[in-house]
Amino acid sequence: MSAAGSLKRLTPSRIRAMKGGAPIVCLTAYTTPMARLLDEHCDLLLVGDSLGMVLYGMESTVSVTLDMMIAHGKAVMRGVTRSCVVVDMPFGSYQESKELAYRNAVRILQETGCDAVKLEGGEEMAETIAFLTARGVPVLGHIGLMPQQVHTAGGYRSVGHSDEEVAKIRRDADAVGNSGAFAVVIEGTVETLAREVSAAIAVPTIGIGASVACDGQILVSDDMLGLFNDFTPRFVKRYDELGKRVGAAAAAYADDVRSRAFPTEEHTFKRRS
């Protein structure tokens, strides 16, 4: 990417300035080809640790490593000219101490060239977020349903149903919003509560299974494109059924190979005279 091209890309500070304005369009990306396809349509591309499940067939994001995130962060950065790129900090890379979080966040920024990191956690992570942002590391926060805590949370489920959960999410939103994060993802949270906290904090909120009132929305691209046919989360709107189309194309190819209809003469090479 040229220096001139990189200067045109959206920055975390510009994303922050979109609070209350035009909705922020966000999707996940894990590869260079997908980044190139999504870049012109998005304000922010997230290299999510969801890649563990989407690309590697893991049961959760917990087994994703820092090296995996950096490798995919590099790949996405090769495909962007416009979008702000954020890379997830995987489980275990930041919870132990704010110093460890800083070292790993710096490694992500230096080795990928991305614009920011994302980490999960509310009031318990506010000090870490403040520590990072004070030292030049832009941070995207993440509250509500937190996939890295799936084992302690008892599975993937929406939150904000009990009075205790409501109070906790309110505290989390306030803590992260005041910690220096440039924006906050709100995931799997009761709509009225997501709407309330979005209006209450000064930084943009990016919803996923939250509220249309959030300042932006994000989906896992593979969910949105219908590359998974076995399960569709309630909060996903499918804009295509690429999984079925890929399967149909593969079936047509297999038929041609088995019937020797492919390759034809136009797909082969002749000896030069």
Residues tagged in the binding site annotation for 3-methyl-2-oxobutanoate: 49-50, 88, 118
Give CA–CA dist 205/189, Å, rounded: 12
The annotated binding site for Mg(2+) is made up of 49, 88, 120
Give CA–CA dist 178/112, Å, rounded: 27
Amino acid at 29: A
Q: What is the largest CA-CA distance in the chain?
A: 82
Crossing angle for the helix pair 98-112 and 126-134, to the nearest 10 degrees:
50
The annotated binding site is made up of 49-50, 88, 118, 120
Calculate ∠ Cα 70-75-78, nearest 5°: 125
Give CA–CA dist 135/155, Å, rounded: 35
Give CA–CA dist 143/120, Å, rounded: 6
Strand partners, 159: 189
Calculate ∠ Cα 62-67-69, nearest 5°: 65
Q: Tokens at residue 161, please? A: 């149903």
Asked whether the beta carbons of 185 and 218 are under 8 A apart, the reply is yes
Q: Which of 99, 123, 187, 191 is catalytic?
A: 187
Amino acid at 175: A
Give CA–CA dist 146/189, Å, rounded: 10
187 flagged as catalytic: yes
Give CA–CA dist 119/113, Å, rounded: 17
Active site residues: 187
